[in-house]
Amino acid sequence: MKTRLKEFDYLRVTAVLAVIGIHVTSRFVTINSVAYLLNQAARFAVPLFIVLSGFLLYYSSMKGRNKTRTSFLSRRLSKIFIPYLIWTLIYMLYSIRNTIGNALSVSFFSAFLKHLVFGSAAPQLYFIIIILQMYLLYGLLERLMNSKYEKPLLIVSFLITAYISLGAYLFRWYIFIMPKLSFGYHIIFPTWLFYFVFGMYFAKHAARFKPVLAASRLKLGLLWVVGLGALYIDSRMSNTYGSSIKPTVMLYCIASFLFFYSALSPDSIKESTFIRWISEQSFFIYFSHVLLIELIFMVFRVMHIKLVWGSILGVALLMLLDTFASLALAYLLYRIPYSKYLGCTVRRLRLVE
């Protein structure tokens, strides 16, 4: 019988709400100081998703759920790649909605292939490129994690990610410690490798870490505040508020994971059908929420309703509307079998008594 890690439902929901928060507030960071702070506070989102992916994959392997490498890759790639392909097409069609006839052109097909390779059809899709690379590397990483090289793997992955994060950060001042690429460092796996390996390492030693973290909850909370403060000051001083690739994000993400995990001990939280459902639909919400933000703006323009979106009330309203729209659309689709090709989890949940 499978043991569900209910704390990870809460962590996944936290991460997907933070992703929504980033894309809602990103429009207003230069005109609203509260939106700026919220945007930075949500910067743990993508790295945390990668930590969770590493943890849950390794946890499944420890429980014997990844039967063979071939079946694992086939199942994971089909679950992710097909929705990614469809959503890339959806975002591209939306971007040329006023000249939809161009969808039949050679240039559209060429752009489609380029967006597919670089995850650039929408601002959040690069994450799928990262995860696909991690899945392809997982067999090697698992063997290393199961060997005497587990700690060297963790240390080396940290050094690689820290070096690239520092290099990407220094680009701001035209200091080049890494070669310039024709594409961004944000889509290549070494940039995010530490987060994935850290998740695997934590899964392997979770039983040993849990009591230590539970006893250090207050200290971890203070570390989280310090991490957020360091990130906020860094972003203000360096004007790098739009980047999640820098050393202060590494500190903030790991502090966030440890603090949230310590606060969400299985004994202190109840299993919630609603939280579990959102967690299972988080993949679809991740794909759809940026499009829904655009549609919300469009509806208000068509209805000639003027709202001061840049105000904190406007930002809060947009956050609520986008979250509600994402959940509502997921609810309408998740009972339809073919909605799995859009990223929905299409099984009916059993009510918890």
Residues 6+ apart with CB under 8 A from 350: none
Rg (Cα) of the chain, in Å, rounded? Answer: 20
User: How far is CA 26 from each of CA 37, 109, 133, 287, rounded to the nearest angstrom?
Assistant: 11, 30, 27, 17
DSSP states of 188-246: SGGGTHHHHHHHHHHHHTHHHHHHHHHHTHHHHHHHHHHHHHHHHHHHHHHT-TT-S-S
Task: Pick out the chain residues at pLDDT < 70.
Answer: 1-3, 65-72, 266-267, 347-353
pLDDT at 266: 67
pLDDT at 348: 57
Place of tokens 């989890």: 345
pLDDT at 262: 92
Least Cα distance to 249 among 231, 266, 235, 274 occurs for 231
pLDDT at 2: 57
For residues 263 and 217, the answer to whether their CB atoms sit within 8 Å is: yes
DSSP category for residue 257: H
Distance between alpha carbon 159 and the CA centroid of its chain, in Å?
22
pLDDT at 71: 66
Q: What is the pTM for the complete model shown?
A: 0.92
Least Cα distance to 40 among 261, 289, 224, 244 occurs for 244
DSSP states of 100-154: GGGGGSHHHHHHHHHHHHHT-SSTTTHHHHHHHHHHHHHHHHHHHHTSTTHHHHH
Please compute, for residue 264, the number of CA atoms within 13 A of its CA located in the half-sphere on the CB side: 18
Kindly list the domain boundaries of the chain, sorted by start residue. Answer: 1-42+270-353, 49-217
- The two tokens of residue 246 are 């820098």
pLDDT at 188: 95
Roughly what angle, to the nearest 10 degrees, separates helices 6-25 and 33-41? 150
Between CA 91 and CA 263 the distance in angstroms is 37
